[in-house]
């Protein structure tokens, strides 16, 4: 794990601790960063909706995969 030093206003950190369930400021910041990353990934996936074309049916893929049987 990397260690960095960031200056953040105490008021923001105090407010963060009120809305994010965490035991420490560090845990709260990490949780918010992870949540933001997940949100951005979901947005990218949603943006791809309707832009991909599948040539095989799900049923065919499901039964053709030896790992699933």
pLDDT over 80 at 63, yes or no: no
Looking at residue 62, what is its pLDDT? 75
Q: Could you give the CA distance from residue 32 to residue 20 in angstroms, rounded to a whole number?
A: 8
- 7-29 mean pLDDT: 94
pLDDT at 16 over 60: yes
Compute the distance between CA of residue 40 and CA of residue 33 in angstroms, rounded to an integer.
11
How confident is the model at residue 33, as a pLDDT?
96
**What does the mean pLDDT of the chain come to?**
88
Over residues 27-53, the pLDDT tens digits come to 999 999 999 999 999 999 899 888 877
Q: Are residues 22 and 28 in contact, defined by beta-carbon separation less than 8 angstroms?
A: yes
User: Per-domain residue ranges for the chain?
Assistant: 8-50
């Amino acid at each position: 794990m990397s260690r960095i030093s960031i200056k953040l206003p105490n008021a923001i950190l105090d407010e963060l601790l009120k809305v994010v369930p965490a035991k420490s400021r560090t845990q709260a910041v990490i949780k918010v960063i992870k949540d933001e990353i997940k949100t951005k990934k979901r947005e990218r996936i949603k943006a791809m909706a309707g832009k991909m074309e599948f040539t095989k049916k799900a049923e065919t893929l499901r039964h053709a995969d030896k790992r699933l049987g």
